[in-house]
Structure 1
């Protein structure tokens, strides 16, 4: 099927042919009721097409007044107007003959001015804030006033003057004094070109509307003031020289002849005149250039009166700009000093003080850029304009959230008005894991990180036009993760209270919300379009992901680990397959060394050998002297004392045998004291008591 557009005139021609055939059939035969109906339909269709053709002609090839092409064209016309405002007084007053290049440029400029009339015929305009894009209305409005002014200002007056006087500037007739005076009179017609200066303010206001920076706005205002002063000085200088030049034909002495300026170059004449204009406008003059004729004195007085007003206006405007900037800086400085004094009085940590200063600097910079709060701007506007602004600013962020794709456009536009602007500093936690909250956030500028609260491990980084906090917002569950700012962040907050109030006004939105909540209660977060930041699967969030493996219950973790270890170590074993272990190591028998056979070793029974039998090399064996002791029924008493040889002098301390019964007087039993000495392989008995027996002998005692 062909979708090419057909011009309405072509369709109209076809319909006219069909109407002619219908009229011919009416003449040939009688008209039937069906033919009447068809004819009426065709007539209605034809009238509609004619209306469409008329509208098509009225709307087609029209320029929007705020379009970029129209803006560029206005800037070009502005440059031509500025050039004319400088060149026209100069060439009229200083009688300077323009060069061929200047004439060519003026010819091009005249063509552009004529073309500007055609462009204005096809450019829409505003009536009480309403855009009119109808060609008929545009023509009516343009013919009322601006068309005639543009025609007068666009007339090529230099061509007329040249055609009247022959156009040859080198001829003697052209340079005759009377002809020159007449030409000067006709040249004053060029002043009519300055009528375009009335459009200058309109163009400057349109350019100023596009400036959004406060610095650029101040520069633009300052530039306008300087341009105003220079234009006034330029026109004053041109007229001052023109009065002196014309007065030289009548008066013998003028300000020009007084300083011998009549034979100087045109450039020197212009600089001298401009010098007098600036000195007169700024001060009362230095006295080096003074008026002589009455006309010059009257003009000088008028210039002083006018210059005083211009000078006062200029200085006042510049002072207002400077004082306005200083007022803003002073307010910020006072606020900073007050905050610093408060923090020092409360003894806040240095790190916290630094963060507070950074936050205030950020807020202050935004305040300097915006100048007016958003609420103050929106109060000035109508309700429909507010809705459009909210939809454009906040609605763009909401459209990036796929949760709200199911909601209707009217609901989204109303939802955009409920969002609240909030600003956070670097390091601020917007939400904490485990807290209860009823907000979700949309990021306008800045970046945040989502991290696990217990392990402090980062899960994901979010940037502009992204959102977070939707799980707790729709499920009323505690926060499942924490969110921290990495830099200054501007967010839009949506509270559950505002959302529920708005949902109550839209039945379709309430049904969609109920479906979302039911799915979330079942553990299915697919309807919220939540995807895991780790495995990128839809339906669960990162803290519940299997890849994360974080268990905060230590007891549960320990029991799980023990269970897994026991399962790994336990095996099903058949008893028939179990064999007795075979030890390759032989069981050694304990053999007592004969040398140390006299020692009482625990667990090894031995016979009481004589000393001569244990040590055959000893020939003389003294009999052990044992004092009488009351052993009684003591289990630990020792009846036989085994004596073994010692290589050096040995004091054998026997243990004291204490009878449990004892004497009637409570004294200890008798003591057995002996000393054995081995000298030259002989045992000598020394009856001198050396050591007192303090403990009874036992079978487990070891004699050293």
Structure 2
């Protein structure tokens, strides 16, 4: 039971002025009031009332980017919308709602529409102004209520329960706006070219429009048979009576008329018979003729750009044939050049892929470059352990080349990766995925393998020069340390191999290497590393110093004059280039 309130009692947290102690502040030249320790401790020790918590319901919104359920529902709802665009015009035109099977389908469609309306209140939407998804339930609900809610509610209303509103079921077609929203939301998941998507869109639009026009034209004769085009057609052609009395037959005839109207063929066997039919036919012909003209024009433009790579290649081949004919090249050379350009089609695509990758962000460039480099990078130790940023620079420096059969490839201190084709190097056959030239990082040319490569077929390779690798790792301390460590490792490995081969050859003529004196062994190793014969005489230190002095005394002036002349030549060339640029 709490104690009764006393008017003389101070409010909690307040103190009398006499309880405050004046304390001088020598630094500031002022005085301030200090709480007594006992009062402060009692004030702190008093229990604080916890704030009242309001009951708040937290709803989990669905993100179109991460929700797997929403992705599945979008696919299902697209099928539902496709069924609605086909079934609804048929049931309205030929009054199919009275059939039990049709009623079950209609109720299933209404349930799907209602469930989709509920999901709209919990589906995040993308805010283009802030470039992010809005996940606040109130913002989502307000946006939907002030947007498509009224139209979606009208499409979900059960019109089949009211006989007077049967024809309003055609309002369900307004729900097709959801198909556009779903396609925009899932366009990143589709990897089909825009040209092919445009063709598919045109075909879908033409098909559904023909279907809707056929339902409209068939509904006129189905509801008012006397004096209609259907009665005139039966009287002139005859045939099976079920073709004119059952809705599948009437719909088939109506589709035939819609296609003729769309394509402007017009055989003339189906013609309007009254004023109402003339008005409907005129509107249909005007609308479908305009649509047909637009679709034909758009499809011609799409087909012209459907395969841009093939168009560019054909243009290149036409230019090549013109060159060969103009220069009167022999037939064997013509065939060889055409074959080479046919094989180089992949190189053109590789260059275009690099341009696309260059438009990405650095992080995405790293991910894509890592995937494009392939498994061959695991065979090159100093590339496999580089940072992602450095790998992006390495991928940019890679150059694609194509070599003809029987062509020799010079190893000009570069790394080669076989992408396609077969070649032979030192008695070993290399195929796609193999690499050579990993020792390009060694500065001593004697330690690098100089084995020539001969192409056995058209060979497509990726090349990475040492100077380009140096430029990539120059900005990374980790990359420089890694390359330096591999330089030492490969240098020791290749030096030991070279020394062992030279010692084995020498032992065949001179005897055991282990029995030689230490000075002789040292001289053999140095000769091998310098590229001399193992037992050649090494120049003494005195000879080297005399040679250096002679060089300094006799040739130093000549070298200086040569450098000066070369500098002047370079400066004049630079000035010439600048003048040409201006």
Distance (Å, rounded) in 2 between the aligned partners of 1:300 and 1:519: 86
Contact 1:431/1:479 (<8 A) preserved: no
1:107 and 2:77 matched: no
RMSD: 4.8
SS class of match (1:132): strand
**Gap change, CA 1:502 and 1:420, over 3 Å in 2:** closer
User: Which position in structure 2 is the counterpart of 1:145?
Assistant: 147
Distance (Å, rounded) in 2 between the aligned partners of 1:130 and 1:232: 36
User: Which position in structure 1 is the counterpart of 2:208?
Assistant: 231
User: Which position in structure 2 is the counterpart of 1:84?
Assistant: 84
What does residue range 441-480 of structure 1 map to in structure 2 within 5 Å? 441-442=416-417, 445-446=419-420, 451-452=425-426, 457-458=427-428, 461=430, 463-464=432-433, 467-475=435-443, 477=445, 478-480=448-450
Equivalent of 1:253 in 208, 227, 231: 227
Any idea what the Cα deviations from partners look like across 1:385-420, whole Å, max 9, x if unmatched? 55654455459875774324654444444x345433
TM-score normalised by length of structure 2: 0.64
Distance (Å, rounded) in 2 between the aligned partners of 1:212 and 1:298: 44
* Residue correspondences, number: 462
1:199 and 2:169 matched: no
Contact 2:63/2:123 (<8 A) preserved: yes
Equivalent of 1:242 in 215, 219, 225: 219
Distance (Å, rounded) in 1 between the aligned partners of 2:228 and 2:301: 41
Distance (Å, rounded) in 2 between the aligned partners of 1:122 and 1:416: 46
**Gap change, CA 1:472 and 1:260, over 3 Å in 2:** closer
What does residue range 6-25 of structure 1 map to in structure 2 within 5 Å? none
User: Which position in structure 2 is the counterpart of 1:274?
Assistant: 255
Equivalent of 2:246 in 265, 285, 289: 265
1:187 and 2:166 matched: yes
Contact 2:195/2:306 (<8 A) preserved: no
Distance (Å, rounded) in 1 between the aligned partners of 2:41 and 2:461: 70
Distance (Å, rounded) in 2 between the aligned partners of 1:308 and 1:387: 51
User: Which position in structure 2 is the counterpart of 1:424?
Assistant: 402
**Gap change, CA 1:513 and 1:281, over 3 Å in 2:** closer
Contact 1:436/1:479 (<8 A) preserved: no
Deviation at 1:81, TM superposition (A): 0.8
Contact 2:382/2:483 (<8 A) preserved: no
Distance (Å, rounded) in 2 between the aligned partners of 1:384 and 1:232: 46
**Gap change, CA 1:230 and 1:487, over 3 Å in 2:** same
What does residue range 530-541 of structure 1 map to in structure 2 within 5 Å? none
**Gap change, CA 1:332 and 1:494, over 3 Å in 2:** closer
User: Which position in structure 2 is the counterpart of 1:607?
Assistant: none
Contact 2:195/2:305 (<8 A) preserved: no
Any idea what the Cα deviations from partners look like across 1:320-343, whole Å, max 9, x if unmatched? 344446987665445324435655
SS class of match (1:259): helix
**Gap change, CA 1:190 and 1:462, over 3 Å in 2:** same
**Gap change, CA 1:426 and 1:139, over 3 Å in 2:** farther
SS class of match (2:245): coil
Contact 1:440/1:467 (<8 A) preserved: yes
What does residue range 553-568 of structure 1 map to in structure 2 within 5 Å? none
Distance (Å, rounded) in 2 between the aligned partners of 1:112 and 1:38: 59
Contact 2:217/2:254 (<8 A) preserved: yes
User: Which position in structure 1 is the counterpart of 2:75?
Assistant: 75
Contact 1:390/1:416 (<8 A) preserved: no
| Long gaps (5+) in structure 1 | 1-29, 162-182, 526-538, 565-704
User: Which position in structure 2 is the counterpart of 1:617?
Assistant: none
Deviation at 1:271, TM superposition (A): 1.6
Distance (Å, rounded) in 1 between the aligned partners of 2:98 and 2:459: 62
Equivalent of 1:517 in 487, 508, 518: 487
